[in-house]
Structure 1
């Protein structure tokens, strides 16, 4: 009889442990479901929001400031060691290349690589042919001005009527060709 009582207690404890573990798994699954269904984070500056003044220097030694943006310009923030940045980089290069030659060198996209200069070298070599590239430490002038706290961050900016630099798009889709390039290369219908 004591053996049977011990067996029943053991099975009861085993079932209780199983129940606790199952409830823990269910809780974790709910947390993961919430994370997966949450909308992606948006950049800190909304469309129409102003970009703070900044002054930076490109890797080619050219000065760069908000006053130098004359038209709608793509500004991207990347960070070495960032998986999503590595994934987005080829699309950015392709997008920037399709806009290359459409205007003056000042009209080229801007790429900001945030991190150690040695670690940024791979990004710089791929970005330099198609964009104005700035390398800065975390908390650098461009990162602060654009409130870039996540990577990659892609924004389109342009001067407003008062000359202030404002965000015109904070959900840039790189699959689309730049408007000035696609209109120029689009075949004309026969009349």
Structure 2
């Protein structure tokens, strides 16, 4: 009987140790998950929802904020070297016909960093109007965007309706 009691006591201790270790592992996994989410989520920068589209004129002068008033517009910011931009550019190009059917203009702004290859231009041309800049100082600065990809949805009066870092944040899934 003493042997059985000793075995039960040892098993009880082992179960308690297992519970403590499992709780520590779960706590550590939650901390790691929070850290990963913080690393993956770009900061919320730029215009607040409800703001009016800022006055701008593209580098070559062939597009300005006045050209976009009167119809809804999506302004999308991309950059070469951005790991998430190719997938989001494909999604935007895939929805180009749908957006045009709803009367929504699409303007993509591509910041081409020196020393990087530009694989996004062919895809973004399928999505609508493409403006290429040599860095983040142009329209990205005008709109206050610091991370790419970024999407802004303006209504026909030029008021920011939605914004996000994924196309689905702005247009929903479709």
The answer, yes or no, to whether TM exceeds 0.5 is yes
Task: Tell me which interval the TM-score lies in, with the shorter structure as reference length.
Answer: 0.5 to 0.7
* In 1, Cα distance between equivalents of 2:87 and 2:129: 20
Q: How does 1:70-109 map to 2 (within 5 A)?
A: 70-100=70-100, 103=103, 107-109=104-106
Task: Provide the residue aligned with 1:46 in structure 2.
Answer: 48
Task: Provide the residue aligned with 1:65 in structure 2.
Answer: 64
2:148 counterpart (148, 151, 154): 151
TM-score normalized by the length of structure 2: 0.66
> How far is the alpha carbon of 1:146 from its aligned partner?
1.2
SS in 2 for 1:55: coil
TM-score normalized by the length of structure 1: 0.61
> How far is the alpha carbon of 1:157 from its aligned partner?
1.5
Tell me if the contact between 2:80 and 2:112 (Cα under 8 Å) persists in the aligned partners: yes
SS in 2 for 1:122: coil
Tell me if the contact between 1:47 and 1:170 (Cα under 8 Å) persists in the aligned partners: yes
SS in 2 for 1:76: strand
Task: Provide the residue aligned with 1:14 in structure 2.
Answer: none
SS in 2 for 1:36: helix
Q: How does 1:1-191 map to 2 (within 5 A)?
A: 32-38=32-38, 40=41, 41-57=43-59, 63-69=62-68, 70-100=70-100, 103=103, 107-116=104-113, 119=116, 121-160=118-157, 165-171=158-164, 172-173=167-168, 174=171, 176-177=173-174
Distance 1:64 1:83, change over 3 A: same
Unaligned runs of 5+ in 1: 1-27, 178-191
> How far is the alpha carbon of 1:134 from its aligned partner?
0.5
* In 1, Cα distance between equivalents of 2:128 and 2:107: 5
> How far is the alpha carbon of 1:62 from its aligned partner?
6.9
> How far is the alpha carbon of 1:95 from its aligned partner?
1.5
Unaligned runs of 5+ in 2: 1-27
Tell me if the contact between 1:51 and 1:145 (Cα under 8 Å) persists in the aligned partners: no
